[in-house]
């Protein structure tokens, strides 16, 4: 019996403990989570991001709804205050009292607008977190866009109220002061990146100057690439200083890449040809070339789309890189020495050996003619009216035209002094008497 009493006592004690313990409510599967961060509308943005980080998609939807409600309430306050200002503006009986009330109301509206902007900023942070976790922030963002009109409404019929609104917006930390700071940061960022682009371009230029293999075109290309890439990065960073989200813009550009590539096939082909020209280095800046079939001149500059060539008569010719790479490229000044090809004719009655000696002596006496390779002077052709010599001295590429013109002038003077004639083209014409036609008188 004592045993049964002990068991009964134990059961009685357990029942009392169960009644005394607090009953913890368990969330039903259908219950919606409550918002956590919206209880403090003035929470700093960086702290808000930390609070939102561990929340799930469902919890983020509750956060977005709560912050949207806060924004709605603030917009309602602003609308009521503006409506009251409109009504006071129509009351012309108590002008002085009305003006004072309107001024106070306008100051209140400025403060409310400042609070609205702060709420909208925090709601955007919530919506970004919601989107990252798979939610749909589109309806909330549409509402933010709809209620985020101009903070200062221009009313030409009420200039006093408008001036109060403008003055309040300029002095507001979420209005004029905020945008003044943003614009100042935008300008400073652009200046800093502009200076940085020049510094990096100079470092790149000095680094590439030590390379003996890189062409001047390749060096210029990399210097421009570094400079322009730095400037582009600076523009993107500067735009973010104006509180512009460049993520969607970059996404649109990436999605449109295929369409742009298809539309710019010719440009991309020139781009690829430009890369090949830079890599294989068939010519460099300052080289005399013949490209694209018939374009001759000196290379001025090159980019990834075209090459600029200055013709011999000082015309600038822009040649697409695809036309250059797809045709024969003749680099006239690509090698350090060149052979100067000349032809001189003497009359058939002149002494061939003497003429050859004169030509050889002229070449030997000229200081710009190279001894190695040795010049060649040979009887080359028995022409219609002259015996033709080939005269082929070698010179530095830079001295080509000097040797050509000097030797030509010297040959004329020496041939005249030696009595060797340079004949004009001539042709023998034989006339035959006409044969009388048969049966003629």
Distance CA(335)–CA(329), nearest Å, equals: 14
| Number of neighbours of residue 395 by Cβ within 10 angstroms | 21
Whether the per-residue pLDDT at 4 is higher than 60: the answer is: no
Percent of the chain with pLDDT over 70: 74
Residue among 172, 164, 159, 228 at smallest CA distance from 196? 228
Distance CA(296)–CA(420), nearest Å, equals: 37
Whether the per-residue pLDDT at 36 is higher than 80: the answer is: no
Q: Which residue has the higher pLDDT, 50 or 343?
A: 343
Distance CA(274)–CA(270), nearest Å, equals: 6
Whether the per-residue pLDDT at 23 is higher than 80: the answer is: no
End-to-end CA distance of the chain: 181
- pLDDT, tens digit, for every residue of 262-321? 655 667 788 888 888 888 888 888 899 999 888 999 999 888 788 999 999 999 999 999
Provide the Cα torsion 98, 103, 109, 111; round to 10°: -150
Whether the per-residue pLDDT at 333 is higher than 60: the answer is: yes
| Tokens 């190695």 sit on residue | 372
Distance CA(397)–CA(89), nearest Å, equals: 89
Distance CA(29)–CA(374), nearest Å, equals: 101
Distance CA(136)–CA(267), nearest Å, equals: 40
Asked if residues 359 and 351 have their Cβ atoms less than 8 Å apart, the reply is: no
- pLDDT, tens digit, for every residue of 215-256? 777 778 788 888 888 998 888 888 888 777 666 666 666 666
Residue spans of alpha helices (H) in 133-158: 138-147
**Mean pLDDT, the chain, integer:** 79
Residue 222 has what pLDDT?
82
Cα 27 from chain centre: 55
Provide the Cα torsion 188, 191, 193, 195; round to 10°: -140
Whether the per-residue pLDDT at 415 is higher than 70: the answer is: yes
| Number of neighbours of residue 192 by Cβ within 10 angstroms | 13
Cα 276 from chain centre: 20
Provide the Cα torsion 74, 77, 78, 84; round to 10°: 180
Percent of the chain with pLDDT over 90: 28
As given in the structure block, the two tokens for residue 369 are 């003619």
Max mean pLDDT among 18-22, 102-106, 179-183 falls in 179-183
Residue 89 has what pLDDT?
65
- pLDDT, tens digit, for every residue of 344-399? 999 999 999 999 999 999 999 999 999 999 999 999 999 888 999 999 999 999 99
- Of 135-139, 379-383, 412-416, the range with the lowest mean pLDDT is 135-139
Q: Could you write out the three-class secondary structure of 331-372? A: ECCCCCEEECCEEEEECCCCCHHHHHHHHHHHHHHCCCCCCC
> Which domains are present in the chain?
37-174 (no CATH), 178-255 (no CATH), 263-331 (2.30.30.60), 337-418 (3.30.70.100)
Residue 48 has what pLDDT?
83
- pLDDT, tens digit, for every residue of 87-100? 766 664 555 556 66
Distance CA(298)–CA(286), nearest Å, equals: 6
Residue 369 has what pLDDT?
94
| Number of neighbours of residue 378 by Cβ within 10 angstroms | 12
């Amino acid at each position: 019996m004592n045993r049964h009493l002990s068991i009964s006592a134990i059961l009685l004690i357990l029942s009392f403990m169960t009644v005394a313990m607090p009953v913890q409510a368990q969330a039903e599967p259908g219950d919606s989570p409550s918002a956590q961060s919206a209880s403090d509308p003035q929470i700093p943005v960086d702290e808000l991001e930390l609070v939102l980080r561990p929340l799930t998609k469902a919890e983020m939807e509750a956060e977005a709804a709560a912050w949207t409600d806060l924004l709605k309430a603030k917009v309602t306050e602003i609308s009521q205050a503006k409506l009251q200002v409109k009504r006071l503006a129509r009351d012309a009986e108590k002008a002085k009292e009305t003006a004072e009330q309107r001024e106070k109301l306008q100051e209140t509206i400025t403060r409310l607008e400042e609070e609205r902007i702060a709420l909208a900023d925090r709601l955007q942070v919530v919506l970004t977190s919601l989107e990252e976790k798979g939610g749909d922030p589109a309806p909330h963002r549409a509402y933010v866009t709809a209620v985020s009109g101009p903070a200062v409404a221009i009313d030409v019929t009420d200039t006093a109220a408008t001036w109060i609104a403008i003055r309040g917006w300029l002095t507001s930390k979420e209005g004029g002061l905020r945008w003044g700071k943003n614009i100042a940061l935008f300008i400073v960022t652009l200046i800093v990146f502009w200076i940085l682009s020049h510094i990096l371009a100079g470092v790149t230029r000095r680094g590439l100057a030590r390379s003996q293999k890189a062409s001047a075109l390749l060096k210029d290309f990399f210097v421009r690439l570094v400079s322009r890439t730095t400037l582009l990065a600076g523009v993107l960073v500067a735009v973010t200083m104006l509180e512009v989200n460049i993520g969607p813009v970059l996404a649109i550009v990436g999605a449109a890449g295929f369409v742009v590539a298809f539309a710019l096939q010719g440009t991309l082909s020139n781009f690829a040809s430009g890369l090949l020209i830079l890599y294989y280095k068939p010519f460099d800046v300052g080289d005399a070339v013949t490209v694209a079939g018939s374009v001759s001149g000196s290379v001025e500059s090159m980019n990834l789309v075209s090459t600029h060539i200055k013709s011999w008569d000082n015309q600038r010719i822009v040649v697409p890189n695809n036309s250059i790479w797809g045709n024969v490229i003749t680099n006239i000044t690509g090698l350090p020495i060149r052979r100067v090809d000349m032809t001189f004719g003497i009359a058939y009655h002149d002494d061939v050996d003497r003429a050859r000696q004169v030509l050889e002596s002229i070449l030997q006496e000229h200081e710009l003619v190279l001894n190695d390779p040795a010049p060649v002077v040979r009887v080359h052709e028995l022409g219609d009216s002259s015996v033709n010599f080939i005269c082929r001295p070698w010179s530095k590429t830079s001295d080509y035209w000097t040797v050509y013109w000097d030797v030509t002038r010297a040959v004329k003077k020496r041939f005249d002094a030696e009595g060797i004639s340079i004949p004009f083209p001539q042709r023998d014409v034989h006339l035959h008497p006409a044969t009388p036609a048969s049966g003629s008188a």
